[in-house]
Amino acid sequence: MTLFTFGETMGLVAADGIGPLTYAKGFSFGIGGAESNVAVGVARLGGEATWLGRVGPDATGALIAERLTAAGVRTLAITDESFTGLMVRHKRSAQFAQVDYHRAGSAGSRLSPADVPPAELTSAGVVHVTGITPALGETARAAVFQSIETANAAGVPVSVDVNYRSKLWNRFDAAPVLRDLVSRADVVFASPEEAALFVDADDLLGALAKLGPSEVIVKDGARGCRAQIDGERHELPVLPVTVVDPVGAGDAFVAGYLADRLTGATPAARLATAIAAGAFAVTVPGDCEGAPTRAELAALTGDDVHR
């Protein structure tokens, strides 16, 4: 029961401290990508996860393969002649973070249908994709839809995180593609704003479910989550934690849900794990560095000091 996912993972340059990038005193360098973040999250929770993607023949591409492998993810990194993409992130204020992408023409954006082996799709417990990859280019979009078609034909559940990125495409171009993506999925994750791009905002859960998925989860930040799973409605609040870095919380949430789904846990248990994983992730800086283990989740509501 393995998670299989694919997409672009990039190098991440993050400014230290808070304030305009102009005055940053130092920077850290890591990796980040929605799909690989989910793979790391599932692996940390004891599941099996495979990530596939293209990386450049450079130090950043090598770092991505090394970091993901070290995190317990089975990594299928295809070396491309183009460069590995980069993102630069800084916190303009305590409340607002800004991310700039340098990925046009990158190795990751050159993903194609031929890169994704059908055997990986048909043998997976869940195939997970996001709405980011279709925005990267025609071949990447074709890879997503062909992979979903293969998984659907084999009866393998497909998970989609809408993950709309306004810096990659505008809402008018994105909406019909994202709607099509969701209509082919079994499990869908979206924020209220993302879902409202292509369904009626009056009843997001019902409207998303009408498109076809049997499991619809709306991630609503500080308001927790709402879900409709096999016709039954659920609602969970967030756990109270001190927020250090909100980036990566959504991916940790998805990882928590899918990790439990792969083990056959009940819908209520999946959502509880998702909420706890997302809460833990925001207490640590970085995209996937804060992905928790099962033991850490169990300790989340316990004492602050563990001796």
Catalytic residues: 251
Residues 6 or more apart from 15 whose CB is under 8 A from it?
Answer: 21, 24, 26, 27, 88, 89, 90, 91
What is each CA distance from 304 to 238, 286, 298, 299, 307, in whole angstroms? 18, 21, 12, 9, 10
- Tell me the C-alpha distance between 11 and 34, whole Å: 13
List the beta strands (DSSP E) in the chain: 2-6, 10-18, 27-32, 48-55, 74-79, 86-91, 97-102, 126-130, 158-161, 187-190, 215-219, 225-229, 232-236
The SS3 call for residue 292 is: coil
* Rg (alpha carbons) of the chain, rounded to whole number: 18
* Axis-axis angle for helices 59-70, 34-44 (nearest 10): 30
Burial grade of 149 (CB within 10 A; 0-12, 13-18, 19 or more): middle
Is residue 6 a contact partner of residue 111, using CB atoms and an 8 Å limit?
yes
DSSP conformational letter for 291: P
Is residue 5 a contact partner of residue 38, using CB atoms and an 8 Å limit?
yes
